[in-house]
Structures are given as C-alpha cells and as structure tokens.
Amino acid sequence: MDVPANLPILVKERFNAAKDSGALNFYPTQVALLPCGEPRIPFQVRFSPALAHKPKADKPKDSKKPFDPFLDPPPDLLVCELPPQHNIVLNKFAIVPEHFILATKEFKEQTHLLDEADLAAAYACLTAYRGHGTLFGFFNSGEHSGASQPHRHIQFLPVQSMKEGTGDDVWQPLAESLAAVTPAPDSELPFAYFAERLPQNPRPSELLQIYRLLYENACKAVRLYIAENPGCELQLKDEQDGSAAISYNMGLTDGVMVLCPRISEGKIIPDQEGNPVGPIALNGTVLAGTLLVKSEAEWAALKEDKSKLVSVLAAIGIPPAPHHVDGRL
C-alpha cells in the first residue's frame, strides 16, 4: 500500500491551510481527566462551547439524495489519494487537530464488514506515523455505534494532538492497555471488549483474520447476552448482504486491534438537581479513553459526580462477564 512517507507532514500542512482558509471548522475543547473504575483509568472528557453553533453540512441543490462528503471530497480537504480504492481527507468539523479520515472512493456501506483492502489501507496510515508519534484509528458501524455517515470510512487522530490540554502525561490511549493484560480483569471497564495484539508488520490477510476473530467473538457475546436477557429488544441483523450482525466500534493502533459490541449510543444522566441532561453519546473514541459532551450541563454533571461516567460507559455495551472479555471465548 503506497501511503506517502511524509503523510504526517501532509496532514499537518493541509489541516493548517484548510483551517486558515475556512475550509474546515476547528472547535477547541476544554478537557478534564476523570477516573473510571478500579484500577482507575483516566478518561478524557472534552467539551467545546462552540459546538452548539456547529453549521450543518452543505447539501447539493435540487437533490433528494443525502449529502455524501466522501464521494467527491473538496480539494481543500483532500490530503491525497490512496489507490486503488481510498482517499485520505480531513474532517471538516474537527475538535482534535489533524483529525483525518480514510474513505472509500466509491460508495460502500458503513454497516458492512470491513474488507482486506480497508484494513491494509488503515494499517498503512498507522505505520506512516511511526517516528511521528502514535496514531489512533477508529471505526463506527451500526445504529448504536455513534456512526454519522453511511459512506464507509475509518477515522484517525494523532495521539499527541489528543493529549493537548490534558496538562500531564497520565492519559494514554486506552486501546493499547486493553490488549496488555490477558485475561483482562472484569473490573477494568464496565463494558465488554475484545482485544488482540498485532504481529509486527502483519500481512493484510492477517489483519482481516484478527478483525474477523474479534467480530465473531463479539457476535457470540451478543447472542449470549440476548439469551440471558430475554426481555431485551436487541436483535442480531441479517448478514447475507455483507452487513454486520451487530453495532460495534473498532479501535486500532499499529500494535493492537480492539472491538467493542454496542447496544446503545449513550445515556441521559441527571444533573445535581435531578434534571435530565444528554443523552451523552459515544463513538469509537471511547476505545481511546475519551468522549465528547455537547453541552455545559453534561460537562458539569460528569465532573461533579464521577460515578456518572461509569454509568454512561456501562450503558453503551454488554456487561463484562468473564465470557465477554479478552477477545477469546
């Protein structure tokens, strides 16, 4: 996969130029580190007051089709082509500097399973950042995953940019630690996940094999959860057209792949007066140990009562019973 060797520099230069020209919108955030569970995991909670005034994406005139930002990306947001199947584009609405996206050139469904070409291109982006810090990739698939676009895409965030504003070095990407302990302790996180360390410079076929292993184990866990909770409304979807049977997030670095089955996009929580705020919605950045809130009420509620973070995280996925963790059943 021929990713430009200077991809980090290209992304940085294109991001700064697009921000200066107004081609993209950058929303600086306030960041708080909140502890989650025992052992305590530092979670980033980000809040941007400007997000309340985020403009809606442009829609083509006289068209009934939903706007697709990846089908013909604006030149100011296109970082480079990645032949034969992908483009690398900037996120038009960024809260982390140099947030970029790997999208298929032709429309493919976000709810379908990733293929070997997608994973090979994603891994090539990750390895291009070696020597420039860690890159975190995430993929949202399904109605409960936080996915916002139907056109297939994997998103990437430079970890050094994610650390801006934290004030110390306590926070590290969660995904790396999730594959470091085997088996993972039940108390570590309030939702189930499946993690696997990647071999050094894996072949595309190996990446696909690991991805499918994690996905199949997640599906088994969801089936078991449904069987153990007959009153729940959760159902597996038909896979015959290539669709995923479950909603899930995938997190990816050049050393680890993590998959989290999702049963909810988020949760409404009470503020100190008992008034409902939210819902606080999470996407695949949860596997980096970070989440975004969109109102000051949500921001204050999480900071004032740190147990609310655990309750939100517990609501998005399957409880971490012993048969639901470690990527193996």
For residues 41, 277, 225, 306, the Cα torsion angle rounded to the nearest 10 degrees is 20
**Could you tell me which residues are beta bridge partners of residue 47?**
30, 293
Rounded Cα distance, 62 and 17, in Å: 31
Dihedral sign (CA 110, 115, 117, 123): positive
CA distance 253 to 135: 6
7-51+75-324 is classed in which CATH architecture?
Answer: 2-Layer Sandwich (3.30)
Q: Delimit the domains of the chain by residue range.
A: 7-51+75-324
Cα–chain center distance at 1: 23
Coil/strand/helix, residue 125: helix
Q: pLDDT of the chain along its 329 residues, tens only?
A: 688 889 999 999 999 999 999 999 999 899 999 988 755 788 999 998 877 666 655 555 555 678 899 999 999 999 999 999 999 999 999 999 999 999 999 999 999 999 999 999 999 999 999 988 899 999 999 999 999 999 999 999 999 999 987 766 678 889 988 886 544 444 478 999 999 999 999 999 999 999 999 999 999 999 999 999 988 888 898 888 899 999 999 999 999 999 999 999 999 999 888 899 889 999 999 999 999 998 999 999 999 998 899 999 999 999 986 544 444 43
SS3 label, residue 153: strand
Whole-prediction pTM value? 0.92
